[in-house]
Chains A and B, each alone.
Chain A
Amino acid sequence: MITVKNIFKVFDKTTILNNISASFKKGKTNLIIGQSGSGKTVLLKCLLGLHVPEKGEIFFGDESLIDMKEKQRRMLRQEMGIVFQGSALFDSMNVEENIMFPLKMFTNNNDEEILDRVNEVIKRVNLTNSNYKMPSELSGGMQKRVAIARAIVMNPKFLFCDEPNSGLDPKTSILIDNLIQEITKEYNITTVINTHDMNSVMEIGENIIFLQNGKKEWEGSNLDIFDTDNKPFIDFVYSSEILKKARKALKNSKADL
C-alpha cells in the first residue's frame, strides 16, 4: 500500500499539488483522474521519486520515500514497474531485449533463466511471435504490452501506469485496462494508473482519486460514480450534454423505483 499525506508541490511559484492525501491500496487498481493540468502526472512522478514534494509524506508500506537514503530508494525502485505514456521502450533493443533489460541489470540469473522468465511474461501479455521485432515495428497496443511485460518481469510490488491508453482505440484500450487489472489481482500488487479516459474509470476504477487544480476533489470507486453529488466531479465525468441528460434520466428512474 502507498500512502500520501498532505503533499504540496510548487513549480515556479505555482502550486501544482495542494495538500493531497490519499491511499493506494494493494491488490486494487487505483486511478488518479482529472483534466489535463490537474496535477495527475506530477503526483505520479512524486510517487516515483522523480519529483520531491515541498511538504508532506509519501509512505511505501511503513517506509517514508522522502526520508529514504539513495541506496534504499534504488532498492525500492527495483520493486516498481512503470508503464510510461509513450511506452518508453528502448529504441536500440528488440522486444526480447527490452523485457530482459531489468533482469540483466539487477539479477545474477543465467541467460537460460532470463529467457525463460522473458518468455513467461511475453505469454502473459499475449505477445507471441514478436520477440525479435524492434519497437518501431510494433503497433501502439503491442508497444503497451511490451511496456507492461517489462514492468512486471521483475515481479514488482508496485505498478505505475501513466496514461496507458493514450493513443489507443477504445477496444484496445479496454484490452490493456483489463490486462493491467488481471495482473494486479494475479500478482497482488499496488497498481496506480494515471488517466483521463472515462472507459478506464468505469471499467477498472476500484479506487479513484479525482484531482482538480491540484486539489483532491473526490475519492471513491466506479460503483460510487452514479451516486455522487460532488459538482466538479460530475462536471468532469458528465462533460457532454448527452451524458448529463442520461444521468438525470437514470436518477429519475431510480427515484420512480
Chain B
Amino acid sequence: MKVLINIGSYFLMLQKVFGKFTKWSVLRTLIFKDIEVLIIGSLGIVSVISFFVGGVVAIQTALNLSNPLIPRNLIGYATRQSVILEFAPTFMSIIMAGKVGSYITSSIGTMRVTEQIDALEVMGINTYNYLIFPKIIALLLYPFVITLSMFLGILGGYVASVTGGLCSSAIFIEGLQLDFNPFHIQYAFIKTTLFSFFLATVPAFHGYYLKGGALQVGKASTTSFVWTSVVIILANFIITQLILA
C-alpha cells in the first residue's frame, strides 16, 4: 500500500515540477551549478571506473578464449558490445545512483529538515520546480558522460589487451569494427536519457518528502539509492524488450 502511495506521490511531484516556473535568470544559475556538481563532478569517478572495468572485460574475455578456433578479435568485439550495450549505460547509471542520487537526496533532504524548503515555499516559490527542474535539465548532459564512459571502457580494453599481450592492436581494432550495428549506440543513448530522468527525480522525491532529522537524511539517501537502482534495472529490462527483442 505504501509503495502505491509513494508511486502516486512521485507522479504528483512530477506534475508540480513542470508547474509554475521559476524566474529564468535564477533557474539558469541553478542549472549551471547543477551541471558543475552532477556532471562535471562525476567525470573523474566515471573515467577511472570505465577504464579499468573495460580492461577487466577484455582480460576475462581473453581468458575464456581457450579454443584456438575462436578468433582473437572476439576480445575487441566482446569489449565493445559489453561496454556499449550494458556497462556504460546501465551499470554506470547504478554507480551514478550512488554518487549523484545520494547527493540529490541529502541536499534536498537537508533543506527540508532545516526548514529551507518551508522558507522558499512561504516566499511563494514553486519549490518542486526550483529544486528539481534544474537537476533534470543538468542531467540531460548525462549521455555525454556515458559517451566518455564508452570511449574509456573500450580504451581500457585496448590497453589491457595490447599491453598484456592478449592480442595485437590490429586484431583488437578489427574486433571493434566487426559486425558493428550503429543502432546499438542509439539504443544505449535512449536508455541513458531515460535513466538520467530517474537519476534526477527518484532521489529528489526521497529528499523532498523526507520527515525527521539528520538520521533520516542518511536513511533516505540509502533508500533512494536502492529505489533508483531498482527503477533503472526495471526500466532497462522494459526498454531492451521494446527495442531489441
Interface, chain A (partner B; CB < 8 A): 48-50, 73-78, 80, 82, 84-86, 88-92, 102, 104-106
Contact = CB atoms under 8 A, between A and B. Distances in A.
A96 to B, nearest CB: 15
A17 to B, nearest CB: 19
A89 B119 CA distance: 8
Contacts of B196: none
A96 B178 CA distance: 59
Contact of B122 (A82, A86, A89, A92): A82
The SS class assigned to the B binding surface is helix
A78 B116 contact: no
A105 B119 contact: no
Contacts of A102: 123
12 contacts: A50-B121, A74-B124, A76-B124, A77-B123, A82-B119, A88-B119, A90-B111, A104-B23, A104-B25, A104-B26, A106-B123, A106-B124
Interface residues of B, number: 18
Given A84-B119, A88-B116, A89-B116, 11 more contacts: A48-B122, A49-B122, A77-B122, A77-B123, A84-B118, A85-B115, A88-B115, A88-B118, A104-B23, A105-B23, A106-B23
Q: What 9 A-B pairs have minimum CB-CB distances, sorted nearest first?
A: A77-B124, A74-B124, A88-B115, A88-B119, A84-B115, A82-B122, A88-B116, A78-B124, A48-B122
A33 B123 CA distance: 25
Given A104-B26, A105-B23, A105-B26, A88 B114 contact: yes
B125 interface: yes
Given A50-B121, A73-B124, A105-B125, A86 B114 contact: yes
